[in-house]
Amino acid sequence: MSYERENIRQMSGYVSGEQPSADDTIKLNTNENPYPPSPKVDEILKSINIDALRRYPPATANRFRDLAAELHQLSRENVIATRGGDELLRLVITTFVDPGEKIGMTAPTYSLYPVLAQIQACPTVSLPLKDDWSLPDDFATQMNEQNVKLTLLVNPHAPSGSLIPLEQLTQLADELDSLLLLDEAYIDFVDHDYETSRLALAYDNVIILRTLSKGYSLAGLRFGYGLASPSLIEPMMNKTRDSYNLDLISQQIAEAAIEDQAHARTSWQQVIDERERLRNALQAMGFESPMSQTNFLLVTVPKTSPDAFSIYQKLKERHILIRYFDADGLADKLRITVGTPEENQKLEAALSELLS
């Protein structure tokens, strides 16, 4: 007999992006930052005192919380530090949503969301985005009518790169009966002033997710954080979080990285500049490549070219990895992470060969 809960037995689990072992692979498939993390991270790693590992780490990561609070002009009580943004998602669901209650999202969205919903035995309400990737006009109304308890929105959106205007976010927070989690994994790559942290102060139903994985080039570290009103942070901090969710070394590295805003901002600007250059180059080759406010582009392959899946496969044979989604509305598209100029130029050369 199986000891698994029925909902676990029926689900298939999250499939992570390919992580090739070959060093010569150009990896443009999982939206990592192509530039190195802050040199301060290196200093921290070299200065780790192994005797300090004998003790438990700071349980509440207060130093990191204070640094994040200062950065966003909030207070420590508005911040929770988590093992990647992914741990925050799991905490939000287990703290605020009962099994059987509904979790709302868009289609397409981050493919981890339905998996986390299945673990908690929560049905999902998935509303298709419009052709230009914007939200349907009656998004909040539909979520409310379906009694959704938690709405998950990736903004800027993955996999399209589109951004919800600030006024519309405020309107959503006002209109939704549910909790609203804004997943800002890619917010650092927005090319203009766009700060949402005041929503965490003004609304007691808004939770903002941030991560060091993309903007701070630290996907391997597993560090993220949430911003929200103290009434939402407190139960996660004091009740549902693992007692020591963040190890000592990660905390010190994350503190150094978030303190070095100058380094991070330089890499964001490099990614933004290169994103625009790559977008133009792909458009010149016949790909449709709408504006993106992230570190990736979602392109539609030209009608006359091989189909998206074979382009993906042929690039893979040439040791260039990008992402293909076998999903509604995405079958003729490819998601390409913005790499370094050298990496992108190799991609461009391979693509023009494949198209000719």
Ligand X SMILES: *Cc1c(COP(=O)(O)O)cnc(C)c1O
Please report how close the Cβ of residue 83 comes to ligand X at its closest, in angstroms: 8
Of residues 251, 293, 252, the one with CA closest to residue 276: 293
- CA 134/CA 70 separation, integer angstroms: 32
Please choose, out of 83-91, 197-205, 305-313, 327-335, the segment that lies near ligand X by the rule CB under 6 A: 83-91
Residues 149 to 208 in contact with ligand X, rule: CB under 6 A: 154, 158, 183, 185
Q: What is the dihedral of CA 5, 6, 7, 11, to 10 degrees?
A: 100
Buried b (16+ CB within 10 A) or exposed e, 69-85: beebebebebbbbbbbb
Smallest separation, CB 345 to ligand X (Å): 25
**Nearest-approach distance from CB 223 to ligand X, in angstroms:** 7
Which candidate, 107, 134, 106, 160, places its Cα nearest to that of 297? 160
Q: Whose Cβ is closer to ligand X: residue 279's or residue 323's?
A: 323
Among 127, 141, 110, smallest CA distance to 325 is for 110
Question: The tokens of 215 are what?
Answer: 């903007």
Residue 337 lies near ligand X (rule: CB under 6 A): no
Residue carrying structure tokens 């899946």:
309
Residue 50 C-beta: closest distance to ligand X, Å: 27
Enter the tokens of residue 93: 């669901």
User: What is the nearest approach in angstroms of ligand X to the Cβ of residue 211?
Assistant: 3
Cis peptide upstream of residue 57 (ω within 30 degrees of 0): no
Q: Minimal distance in Å, beta carbon 253 to ligand X? A: 14
The reply on whether position 115 binds ligand X by CB under 6 A is no
Between CA 326 and CA 315 the distance in angstroms is 17
Q: Tell which one of 78, 162, 213, 251 touches ligand X (CB under 6 A).
A: 213
Cβ closest to ligand X, residue 109 vs residue 289? 109
Choice between 76 and 83, CB closer to ligand X: 83
Site for ligand X in 215-254 (CB under 6 A): 219, 224
Complex with ligand X: residue 212 or 350, whichever CB lies closer: 212
Q: Applying CB under 6 A, does 105 fall inside the site for ligand X?
A: no
Residues making contact with ligand X (CB under 6 A): 31, 84-86, 110, 154, 158, 183, 185, 211, 213-214, 219, 224
